[in-house]
């Protein structure tokens, strides 16, 4: 079985409910191992939009990386994901961040995810799960110290269980 780290994000249509629904859907196919806390984060890239709610969940899976990506994209579609432009507001964003120690560079999937190192909204929840995980020779915790972390807050929600 392989281990995959999946980033969850939403800033539309009750974001926490969107993440909870996606988590429940994925639980039918993937074996959840650990879940980060939820984080409220400012938008990145295109900033004229509401804050996001972000998390990372570590799963065990038998699905190969591209099949996993297809599953995530299907869940996004089922929850109303539209892609009008880059970094647009979204009901749900699911990204494969890491898949074991696999390095992959395909048109549809790059692993590790190319944006991890400069995106605090990914590094914060990833650090909840694996702070010492190495990315390009530095730990997740070290990469986090190099990012702008302003405006990011950990939030509590009764229905989101941190594992």
Asked if the structure places residue 102 within a domain, the reply is: yes
Catalytic residue among 58, 93, 119, 128: 93
pLDDT in 10s for each residue of the chain, 163 residues = 999 999 999 999 999 999 999 999 999 999 999 999 999 999 988 899 999 999 999 999 999 999 999 999 999 999 999 888 888 899 999 999 999 999 999 999 999 999 999 999 999 999 999 999 999 999 999 999 999 999 999 998 888 888 6
Range of the domain at 28: 2-155
Contact 44, 119 (CB under 8 A): yes
Asked if the structure places residue 163 within a domain, the reply is: no
Asked if the structure places residue 18 within a domain, the reply is: yes
Q: What does 40-61 look like in DSSP terms, one character per residue?
A: EE---SS-SSPPEEEEEEEEEE
Asked if the structure places residue 160 within a domain, the reply is: no
HSE-CB at 136 with a 13 A cutoff on CA atoms is 10
DSSP state letter for 160: -
Q: Say whether 90 is catalytic.
A: yes
Asked if the structure places residue 145 within a domain, the reply is: yes
Residue with tokens 């880059």: 86
Q: Which pLDDT does position 128 carry in this prediction?
A: 97
Give the CATH number of the domain where residue 29 resides.
3.30.70.560
Asked if the structure places residue 33 within a domain, the reply is: yes
The pTM of the whole model exceeds 0.85 = yes
Burial of 3 (0-12, 13-18, 19+ CB in 10 A): middle
Catalytic residue among 23, 40, 58, 81: 81
Asked if the structure places residue 77 within a domain, the reply is: yes
Asked if the structure places residue 161 within a domain, the reply is: no
Q: Which pLDDT does position 163 carry in this prediction?
A: 64
Q: Say whether 40 is catalytic.
A: no
Q: Say whether 117 is catalytic.
A: no
Catalytic residue among 23, 58, 95, 117: 95
Q: Say whether 93 is catalytic.
A: yes
**Alpha carbons 154 and 137: distance in angstroms, whole number:** 27
Tally of domains in the chain: 1
């Amino acid at each position: 079985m392989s281990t995959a780290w999946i980033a969850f994000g939403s800033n539309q249509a009750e974001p926490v409910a969107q993440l909870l629904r996606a988590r429940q859907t994925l639980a039918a196919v993937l074996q959840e191992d650990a879940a980060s806390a939820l984080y409220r984060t400012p938008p990145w890239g295109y900033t004229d939009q509401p804050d996001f709610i972000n998390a990372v969940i570590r799963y065990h899976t038998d699905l190969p990386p591209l099949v996993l990506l297809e599953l995530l994209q299907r869940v996004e579609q089922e929850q109303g994901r539209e892609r009008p432009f880059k970094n647009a507001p979204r009901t749900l964003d699911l990204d494969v961040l890491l898949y074991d120690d696999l390095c992959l560079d395909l048109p549809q999937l790059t692993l590790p995810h190319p944006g991890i190192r400069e995106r605090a909204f990914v590094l914060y929840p990833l650090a909840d799960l694996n702070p010492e995980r190495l990315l390009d020779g530095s730990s997740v915790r070290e990469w986090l110290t190099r990012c702008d972390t302003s405006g990011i807050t950990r939030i509590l929600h009764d229905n989101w269980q941190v594992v």
